[in-house]
């Protein structure tokens, strides 16, 4: 859990937007689970609620930051 606490502190200090995205999708989410989440939420976007739309955008943002 030390890694997660360091990640939270680092993100909060450097990139608050990414910190909020991690809060939505979870700090311990794996890259594979985020990819599956994006795929599932992108299948029928017109059925997504506002919460699901926020989760989709957050997962995309986190994936973009992880790929670097």
Answer yes or no: is pLDDT of 68 > 70.
Answer: no
Q: How many domains does the chain fold into?
A: 1
User: pLDDT category, 66, cuts 50, 70, 90?
Assistant: confident
User: What is the domain extent for residue 26?
Assistant: 2-67
Whether residue 7 contacts residue 18, with contact meaning beta carbons closer than 8 Å, is answered with no
pLDDT digits (tens, 9 = 90+) for 3-47: 888 888 888 888 889 989 989 998 888 999 999 999 999 999 999
Sign of CA dihedral 54, 58, 59, 60: positive
**What is the per-residue burial (b if ≥16 Cβ within 10 Å, else e) of 26-56?**
eeebeeeebeebbeebeeeeeeeeeeeeebb
Q: Which residue has the higher pLDDT, 10 or 53?
A: 53
pTM of the complete model: 0.85
Joined together, the tokens standing for residue 51 give 């919460």
């Amino acid at each position: 859990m030390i890694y997660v606490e360091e990640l939270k502190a680092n993100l909060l200090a450097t990139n608050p937007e990414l910190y909020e995205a991690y809060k939505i999708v979870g700090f311990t989410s794996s890259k594979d689970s985020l990819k599956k989440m994006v795929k599932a939420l992108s299948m029928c976007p017109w059925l997504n609620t506002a919460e699901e739309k926020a989760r989709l955008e957050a997962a995309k943002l986190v994936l973009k930051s992880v790929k670097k």
